[in-house]
Amino acid sequence: MLTLTPGQTGLATLEALWREGSPARLDPACLPRVEAAARQVREAAQGGAAVYGVNTGFGKLASVKIAAGDTEALQRNLILSHCCGVGEALDEATTRLMMALKLLSLGRGASGVRTQVVALIEGMLAAGVTPVIPVQGSVGASGDLAPLAHMTAVMIGEGEATVAGARLPGGAALARAGLSPVVLGPKEGLALINGTQFSTALALAALFDGWRLASASLVTACLSTDAIMGSTAPLQPEIHSLRGHKGQIEVAGAMRALMQGSEIRESHREGDSRVQDPYCIRCQPQVVGAAVDLLRFAATTLETEANAVTDNPLVTAAGILSGGNFHAEPVAFAADIIALALAEIGAIAQRRVALMVDPTLSHDLPPFLTPEPGLNSGLMIAEVTTAALMSENKHLANPCSTDSTPTSANQEDHVSMAAHGARRLGRMTRNLSIILGVEALCAAQGIGFRVPLRTSDRLQEALAAIRAVSPPLTDDRYLAPDIEAASALVASGTLAQAAGLEFAL
């Protein structure tokens, strides 16, 4: 059981929850604040003054005053009317992360929900009741309304959820887990659907996978360097300290350590007619180092957002205040930044794949890395696949945050588009894992042609991990399973672990 401390929960805890499916609960110390805000909302609901979302309509209908006796119906209608999501269902791991992020937001004690609402979300996480969340329908302001409405629908016994592998109506799913639906009080429906947790969960998932892939790309780049008998001179620390970028310095240092002791490298320090390697070999620290810096910047933004209160209005000591924390612009920017990093890591890796299969550039490796070119095509089309995925990721990296359109009768006239900005990242990480998987296959094949020379001890361990899922390519064979296995090796973090690489976010 993970304990979530509102305002202080770190990325490592959130990644563990996402990857391992751990149940989570709020730190009980925050519950008095939660209940105090709920009392403040109940008092406002009984008062004569109009308070947005408590005793008024929503959005363009905010000027409509709602009678105290209708507040429960108001909140229920809000949820049902906002369940307009379409498309495939969000995966369960990211849905659970979204629910945990909603707990963190409510736990700050500024949303006005009762502790019963918090307890139901905790109970759903503990019992494995996962709402079915259609992935399309949010523009990222006022928060992720449609996705979060589908989550909340299950909490009131509506919608759909999965439990123990079965997809059931929301009320039946709760009942199977021994849970009861909640009747929403004043503002509670609005507090649950007004927020950025859907977009933030998707962006965090991509950040977690993207960091693993960035780390794996250091291993594949080093393997490729030895495959083409490239130089390690561009990794020297003096070069990178003179520029000063942290990510670049760290990437160069990690690559130096990975290649330390390579017999292949030592074999051509003298008498090599080549003066400089192509940029895809020489500039890996500059390119991936810059991507690392971007990923860390996005991580800072997303960690802040994960702990933020992003509904509206907010319950404060100064009163119940209407603002705009639901606007997901920070998440949209973070998603766009992650997209740029993923695209560029893939772009430079793909050029190394192209380098290795080209006999005019690979320093005497056979065409397409097959021992009998002509009769066999080797890794020819595997390289073409990486080119297709690289190009696809370039298109997906175009910004989403700059695209806004007015909604809700022009009341919500500028929106972030964070939801699909973050959602496209899953497709990009999948593409990148395949590009790097193919690079790993090509590099392993290339190093095989350098025998009896060996690469470094750490890279030999990486080679062993590759060969455990994909034997050397002799005659042509059905390669799709090899590519899938190599992609999984990269995406799981196993390749970086085999090389002993620890690269901290």
Indicate which residues carry an active-site annotation.
52
Distance CA 167, CA 129 (A): 10
Residues 6+ away with beta carbon under 8 Å from 298? 203, 207, 334, 335, 337, 338, 341
- Burial degree of 269 (CB within 10 A; 0-12, 13-18, 19+): exposed
Residues 6+ away with beta carbon under 8 Å from 224? 230, 281, 352, 353, 355, 356, 439, 442, 443, 446
Distance CA 99, CA 198 (A): 9
Half-sphere exposure of 104 (CA within 13 A, CB side): 31
Distance CA 72, CA 171 (A): 18
Contact present, 92 and 135 (Cβ < 8 Å)? no
Reduced to 3 states (helix: H, G, I; strand: E, B; else coil), residue 162 is strand
Find residue 412's DSSP bridge partners. Answer: 407
H or E element that contains 427: helix 418-448
Residues 6+ away with beta carbon under 8 Å from 231? 225, 265, 272, 274, 276, 277, 281, 282
Residues 6+ away with beta carbon under 8 Å from 354? 383, 386, 387
In the numeric block, the tokens 């034997």 are attached to 471
Structure tokens at 488: 């999984």
